Amino acid sequence: MTEELAAEKRNHKMYGRASVMFDDPPYILSAASVVGKKESEGPLGTCFDCIESDSMLGRKTWEQAESELQTRAARLAVRKSGLSGGDIRYYFGGDLLAQLIATSFGSMELELPVFGVYGACSTMGEAMGLGAMTVEGGFADNVVVTASSHFASAEKQFRFPLEYGNQRPYSATWTVTGCGSVVIGKRREPEREYGGRRDEEEILRAAAGADEKRAGEKTRMSVPFAKIAGITTGKIVDMAVRDSMNMGAAMAMAALDTVLRNFHDLGVRETYYDRIVTGDLGQIGKRLLTDYMAEAGYDIAERHLDCGILIYDAEKQDTHAGGSGCGCSAAVLCGYILPKIKSGEWRRVLFVPTGALLSTVSFNEGQSVPGIAHAVILEHAEEKNG
């Protein structure tokens, strides 16, 4: 074998400059979403697994409340996967708070080895990419990927105390109180699903009608939500946007860059995907993305959705441009997008969470607000016989 050929063989998962297509794609075994009251009153209200009407979640501070969101969503995702905590090798988590405290304190009780990830509101995409590569590379059999945000903790950190009166511009977004968590793992064959003595015994008992309900749940759980076919990791794109209250404008060109990069790396067009779902561009960002995509020669208007626009009713809920935050794309992914992929309504979706990279320090020191976007290619997982 020539050296070139050997290199090609070694690099066969790498596509273009920034994309990966998996040989043995990992699966999203389960997904769980936990949201707050306002999100439950939005158009997707009935899609989420768990609704917390107490914005403090029974804790003492907003930061603790956000941690609680992560703990609950991750626990639920693991439970829905039919696995136990011991089957999970790593936890990939992220949030918006400084030093990632919602993730640190939220994952503490789970007692899992943790990778803390920060990609602003694009965190879910970044963490899923890392989680999927870890699983496919054979470094873990199952991982949990979680991202959260909380309206109050984000307002407190990035803007003003909640009780302070101020007017929000129309370009402003509303930080979602919510969390999405997925379990990524290798697909389990039915016999492997029930592998191990304990499970075998359970099946026998279920077959004898002793535990019908449980067996039913297990069978349902064995169908994964989706397959992660590949990822495209985004680069930081600075369009010199200086308005921190217009994050859609700051992020739209990062989404454009990542989507175009994905098309280029894979040699595909927009028609390759049933839906292209961005994270939290909002109304203004959506307009900018579709307009510039059209200029680049791709008409995505029909297939583009934005989690931030989906989650709230802008008219009734007074959220202006839409929802935002790590929890926005994560919760919408788990509550709305993945079930549609699982049912086969959408066969292939490009999920592109978007993030605005700023802190109050960088902003006050006169830096612009650059954006980033990470794409994950999600495909319908065919039912396996047997």
| Cα–Cα dist 260/5, whole Å | 28
Q: Which stretch binds other proteins (CB under 8 A): 114-122, 156-164, 213-221, 227-235?
A: 156-164
Closest approach, Cβ 245 to other proteins, in A, equals: 10
Residue 319 in tokens: 């959220």
Q: Which stretch binds other proteins (CB under 8 A): 72-80, 256-264, 327-335, 378-386?
A: 256-264
Residue 168 in tokens: 């929000």
Nearer to other proteins, 137 or 297 (CB): 297
Q: Which residue type does 292 have?
A: Y
Under the binding rule (CB under 8 A), the answer on residue 164 touching other proteins is yes
Under the binding rule (CB under 8 A), the answer on residue 158 touching other proteins is no
Nearer to other proteins, 53 or 167 (CB): 167
Residues 285-310 as b/e (b if ≥16 CB within 10 A, e otherwise) read bbebbbebbeeeebebeebbbbbbbb
Q: Of residues 58, 86, 161, 209, which one binds other proteins by CB under 8 A?
A: 161
Under the binding rule (CB under 8 A), the answer on residue 249 touching other proteins is yes
Please state the φ and ψ torsions of residue 368, each to the nearest 5 degrees: -80, 180
Closest approach, Cβ 34 to other proteins, in A, equals: 22
Under the binding rule (CB under 8 A), the answer on residue 352 touching other proteins is no
Closest approach, Cβ 322 to other proteins, in A, equals: 13
Under the binding rule (CB under 8 A), the answer on residue 60 touching other proteins is yes
Closest approach, Cβ 150 to other proteins, in A, equals: 14
Placement of tokens 């075998």 in the chain: 200
| Cα–Cα dist 68/100, whole Å | 14
Contact 191, 215 (CB under 8 A): no
Close Cβ partners of 130 (under 8 Å, ≥ 6 residues apart): 92, 115, 117
Placement of tokens 């709230």 in the chain: 312
Close Cβ partners of 386 (under 8 Å, ≥ 6 residues apart): 189, 190
| Cα–Cα dist 321/134, whole Å | 36
Nearer to other proteins, 256 or 381 (CB): 256
Under the binding rule (CB under 8 A), the answer on residue 253 touching other proteins is yes
Provide the β-strand partners of residue 226: 28
Under the binding rule (CB under 8 A), the answer on residue 375 touching other proteins is no
Closest approach, Cβ 367 to other proteins, in A, equals: 14
- Residues across the chain: 386
Residues 270-299 that bind other proteins (CB under 8 A): 284, 287-288, 291-292, 296
**What is the greatest pairwise CA distance in the chain?**
70
Closest approach, Cβ 125 to other proteins, in A, equals: 21
Under the binding rule (CB under 8 A), the answer on residue 167 touching other proteins is yes
| Cα–Cα dist 86/233, whole Å | 30
Close Cβ partners of 36 (under 8 Å, ≥ 6 residues apart): 51, 52, 53, 55, 150, 151, 176, 177, 178
Closest approach, Cβ 325 to other proteins, in A, equals: 18
- Give the H/E segment covering residue 126: helix 123-136
Under the binding rule (CB under 8 A), the answer on residue 241 touching other proteins is yes
Q: Of residues 58, 165, 267, 366, which one binds other proteins by CB under 8 A?
A: 165
Q: Of residues 2, 240, 302, 386, which one binds other proteins by CB under 8 A?
A: 240
Q: Of residues 169, 190, 216, 344, which one binds other proteins by CB under 8 A?
A: 169
Residue 138 in tokens: 């054979």
Under the binding rule (CB under 8 A), the answer on residue 246 touching other proteins is yes
Closest approach, Cβ 294 to other proteins, in A, equals: 12
Closest approach, Cβ 276 to other proteins, in A, equals: 16
Residues in contact with other proteins by the rule CB under 8 A: 60-62, 156, 160-171, 239-241, 246, 249, 253, 256-257, 260, 284, 287-288, 291-292, 296
